[in-house]
């Protein structure tokens, strides 16, 4: 396993040497709070690349806040204050061992760069996404950067989802989404972890906001589908360095990842019909 990771690191270093230069402005490349690290490609995940190849322990060296999934697509990841939690398909949430492997994730050393502010009486996830974009527009007005947001407070309504672990041969994610389990919670405390990617990374990741939720008692969480905010504190940070780690596997090497899978992306983002 260590040999595989070393080969993967070498591949990423050689193949992606120019990415930090392309995605970085004046901020130093060594400023980890301004860097988004990503494990694998969204299109690879959509096509069924669910085998983990980066450990949670290694992921923690890249950031303290993030989202993703686990080996065999077993649940939703919420990374908060360096701790990693697995929201499982049965509705439970468990802390994750450092040895767990990850096939897809995004993480950053979270540091707000935009003044924190209170959010009150906000209803609906699309309303929240619009509000976050309005904050960006009123501050940096730069939608070509990456952003990380945390909203911690009280929520009157939350709907989340997760999916069960898969067995080979893996099906495409859009097919598996039909198996997703959804859970609705009312009147609880918690935190939303949200990451925003610019449109030009379509295929590498998803354009726009991707949000996961974790309750304050660490017993409820998952991929966020609906939310009504009673009151929460919003912190927002920008990132201008992008670090991408690719799998080193025969299955990844054989994938044709150049397809436009945006419709499948939108389908899996929403609630089960």
Give the pLDDT confidence score for residue 260 in this predicted structure. 82
Instruction: Supply the CATH number for residue 36's domain.
Output: 3.30.1330.80
Residue 220: which of 271, 270, 193, 183 has the closest Cα?
183
Q: Global pTM? A: 0.87
pLDDT string in tens for the chain (273-residue length): 444 444 444 444 334 433 443 333 334 444 567 999 999 999 999 999 999 999 999 999 999 999 999 999 999 999 999 999 999 999 999 999 999 999 999 999 999 999 999 999 999 999 999 999 999 999 999 999 999 999 999 999 999 999 999 999 999 998 998 878 999 999 999 999 999 999 999 999 999 999 999 999 999 999 999 999 999 999 999 999 999 999 999 999 999 988 788 878 776 776 454
Give the pLDDT confidence score for residue 263 in this predicted structure. 78
Domain contains 271:
no
Residue 239: which of 34, 50, 49 has the closest Cα?
34
Domain contains 31:
yes
From 70, 86, 108, give the residue that closes a domain: 108
Distance CA(273)–CA(268), nearest Å, equals 11
Domain total in the chain = 2
Reported as type and span, the H/E element at residue 251 is: helix 250-253
Same domain, 32 and 90: yes
| Domain span at 190 | 114-238
């Amino acid at each position: 396993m260590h040999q595989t990771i070393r080969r993967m690191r070498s591949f990423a270093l050689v193949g992606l040497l120019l990415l930090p230069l392309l995605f970085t402005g004046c901020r130093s490349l060594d400023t980890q709070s301004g860097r988004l690290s990503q494990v694998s490609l969204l299109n690879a995940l959509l096509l069924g690349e669910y085998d983990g190849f980066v450990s949670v322990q290694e992921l923690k060296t890249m950031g303290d806040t993030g989202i993703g999934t686990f080996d065999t697509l077993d649940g939703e990841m919420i990374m908060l204050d360096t701790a990693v939690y697995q929201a499982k398909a049965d509705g439970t949430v468990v802390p994750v061992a450092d040895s767990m492997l990850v096939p897809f994730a995004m993480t950053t050393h979270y540091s707000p760069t935009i003044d924190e502010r209170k959010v009150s009486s906000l209803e609906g996830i699309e309303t929240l996404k619009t509000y976050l974009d309005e904050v960006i527009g009123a501050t940096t007005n730069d939608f070509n950067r990456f952003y990380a947001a945390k909203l911690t407070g009280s929520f009157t309504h939350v709907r989340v989802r997760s999916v069960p672990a898969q067995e080979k041969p893996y099906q495409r994610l859009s097919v598996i989404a039909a198996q997703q389990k959804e859970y609705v919670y009312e009147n609880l405390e918690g935190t939303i972890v949200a990451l925003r990617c610019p449109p030009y990374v379509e295929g590498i990741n998803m354009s726009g906001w991707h949000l996961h939720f974790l309750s304050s008692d660490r017993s409820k969480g998952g991929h966020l589908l609906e939310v009504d905010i009673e009151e929460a504190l919003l912190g927002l940070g920008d990132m201008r360095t992008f670090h991408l780690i690719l799998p080193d596997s025969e299955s990844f090497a054989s994938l044709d990842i150049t397809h436009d899978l945006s419709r499948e992306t939108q389908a899996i983002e929403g609630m089960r019909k």
